[in-house]
Structure 1
Amino acid sequence: MNPPPGDVCPAARGFVPPVRTAGRHSYDRHPYGRHPYGRHPYGRHPYGRHGLALPAPAPLPGEVSPSLRTAVSAVLVALSCLLVPFGALAAWAAYGLADTRGYVTAMAPLASNAAVRDAVADTMGDGVAHEAGVNPVFLREAVRSFTATRAYRAVWDAGNTAAHTAVLKALREDRADGDDGPVTVDLATVTAPLKRRLTADHVPFAERLPVEHTRVALLPSDDLTALRKGYRVLDVAGFWLPLAAVVFGVAGIAVASCRRRAVTATALGTALGGAFLGLAVAVGRRLTLADLPDEARRPAAAAVYDALTATLRSASWLLFALGLTVAAATWITRSGSPVVRRLRGRRASPDPTPAAPAPAPAPEPTRIRA
């Protein structure tokens, strides 16, 4: 039914024709200023079909530009990746080496190490032979046989516990009078069971071995001040450096304009930090062994170094593997990857075996058919 003359169609009432400004349609941009997903999923707004290039949407008042967010994210992610190896090293020194039980547990397997046993036999044999006035060669063989017993393992653990406790006490306590002596450990805990073992084996001159409370210096008094300062720095850094690395990494991912790229960069940086940490451990081992004046003691020193840094090497491999795994996962699950397209194709493809149509119901008999 046509509307009366002078009137308009009811469906057209209230219609406002589009206003064209500077040659561009008012529908070229999203009606609410910006598309809720940043850009339209098809590249342009569906109403902007006038062949005109659409300008990049300007940031709203109070909104940070994507370039600035990318720059801030890059700085935060770089700081996080830089702190990863140093944080792991500080945490290992503050919580790994400072734990007496963990230290003794790490050093316990060395009691059965051949190189360490030979070094202990040579050191103790020469020292005890000098005090007792007997042949050092014969006494070294006796001590070497003692290192194969269970009593030696107990003495080994007790000696490591006493030495570690003495060193920690000296590093944590600072005398007010400034009269700091060297850090020492008593050898009576080692010589007493050794004398009992040699006496039971009827070793000549075993009863002449002195069992006195002889103090052996572990750390010189001149280095205590510097060592205490270094220990306090490691104690603080062992907690704050790993925490700062995590906070910077999370903040860098949160402020990034493209969080997937930020996650990938953080993961690759973490893997690189783990590789750098493992390289530092290997270089430190080489330098430590190179500084030893006696080449015969290098196998024993290498065994001790490997036992102390076992946790640090495991941490470096864990960081390396975790970083590569996360980076590979983000790369595989990106929007344009073949895996994602294959999954989307499976979801969108129709069923290749459509169900057979249901049979039509039989017509009811009529009077004529009856």
Structure 2
Amino acid sequence: MRTNISAALSAVVLVLLAVLVPLSALSAWVDLEIDNPGRYVAAMEPLASDPGVQDTMSTLITDEATKQIDPGLLQGVSLGFLHGAVQSFTTTDAFRSAWVAANRTAHEAVTAALNGESGEDVRMDLAPVMQQAKQNLVDSGVPFADEFPVRRTDITLLSADRADQLRQAFRPLRAGGVWPAVGTLVFAGATVLLAAARGGPGRRGSALAALAATAVVGLGFAIGALVLRGAIAVARNRVLAGVPGSDRDGAAAVYDALTSPLLTAVWIVLAAGLAVALCAVFARMWAGRRSARPETAAPGRGSGPLTPLTARGPVPGNSSGHDR
């Protein structure tokens, strides 16, 4: 009966941790990463050196430049040459500065969408990048570069319907902040302490119960990390499914950069949870074997009780057993 109750409680703890761990990580991520402008921009800044982002920006800027100018003005300018000039611009510090400025504005659009202040697509305005690109082309002597118009040019990061879906999920996460993570750790610690208090008789019984609970808690954290990894993958597919094909590579790069801290947390929690669980299992096995080991007698002494005969030893002068 006691074994069945312990198994049921262990299953409950595993299920709760499998839910609490990903919710705690997501809540802390929203509070520390998404809602923080500085961290959001810091997460986006490395994308300026991403080859995929650079190629997407080069194609977009080239297309917009040629779309808004009289084709006759570009007769002497090869599109390949123009694209190459823009591609070269994406490797400069000027592009990185413009990219940071564009993402600082994009963060306002993201938070507005998640706060319910916008019912439209979440877009990044590339006008700062276009302006820097034009200036770079003019300085490089590209013909008619000064004729290139600079106007609002967007890439879609999140479709309106996906933004509505995420908004419903993000509201409770934003309200929780880092407290769900604190509560999860308190729950894990309380589980181990309660198991120790209700363990078998004596210190050894309490220690064995605490080790068993520690193994369950570690396994629960590992399962929760795997659940979070699956949720990130599913959300990525759903988010990108609503983005136009021309903007999908850029949106994917942004999504991966934003969720990078979550993925790091996944592997850390998974490794730590498995390590704790395995150490607790081995420690419990070692303690169980030690408690079951019989006590051995001291060297040089018999294992049975002393009798008068064995205590007295052989009778002097009667080694053969016959009187002479």
**Contact 1:128 / 1:209 at 8 angstroms: preserved in 2?**
yes
Q: What is the Cα deviation at residue 224 of structure 1?
A: 6.7
Q: What is the Cα deviation at residue 147 of structure 1?
A: 0.8
Structure 2 residue aligned with 1:243: 182
2:140 to 201, 204, 216: 201
Q: Which has the larger radius of gyration?
A: 1
Q: More helix by proportion, 1 or 2?
A: 2
Q: Distance in 2 between matches of 1:308 and 1:181?
A: 21
Structure 2 residue 296 is the aligned partner of structure 1 residue 316:
no
Q: What is the Cα deviation at residue 68 of structure 1?
A: 6.4
Q: What is the Cα deviation at residue 90 of structure 1?
A: 3.2
Q: Distance in 2 between matches of 1:336 and 1:222?
A: 56
Structure 2 residue aligned with 1:190: 129
Q: Distance in 2 between matches of 1:302 and 1:187?
A: 17
2:66 to 109, 117, 129: 129
**Contact 1:334 / 1:340 at 8 angstroms: preserved in 2?**
no
Tell me whether 77-86 or 148-157 shows the greater mean CA deviation. 77-86
Structure 1 residue aligned with 2:46: 109
Q: How many residues align?
A: 276
TM-score, normalised relative to structure 2: 0.69
Instruction: Map 1:1-370; keep pairs closer than 5 Å.
Output: 75-76=12-13, 78-134=15-71, 137-138=79-80, 139-169=82-112, 171-172=114-115, 174=117, 187-212=126-151, 214=152, 216=154, 228-256=167-195, 257=198, 258-285=209-236, 294=245, 300-334=250-284, 336-337=286-287
- Alignment RMSD (CA, Å): 3.9
Q: What is the Cα deviation at residue 327 of structure 1?
A: 1.4
TM-score, normalised relative to structure 1: 0.61
- Report the CA distance shift for 1:115/1:72 in structure 2 as closer, same or farther (over 3 A): closer
Structure 1 residue aligned with 2:204: none
- Residue identity over aligned pairs, in percent, reads 36
- The unaligned stretches of length 5 or more in structure 2 are 199-208, 300-324
- Report the CA distance shift for 1:338/1:83 in structure 2 as closer, same or farther (over 3 A): closer
Q: What is the Cα deviation at residue 303 of structure 1?
A: 3.6
- Report the CA distance shift for 1:250/1:232 in structure 2 as closer, same or farther (over 3 A): same
- The unaligned stretches of length 5 or more in structure 1 are 1-64, 351-370
Structure 2 residue aligned with 1:361: none
Q: What is the Cα deviation at residue 102 of structure 1?
A: 1.7
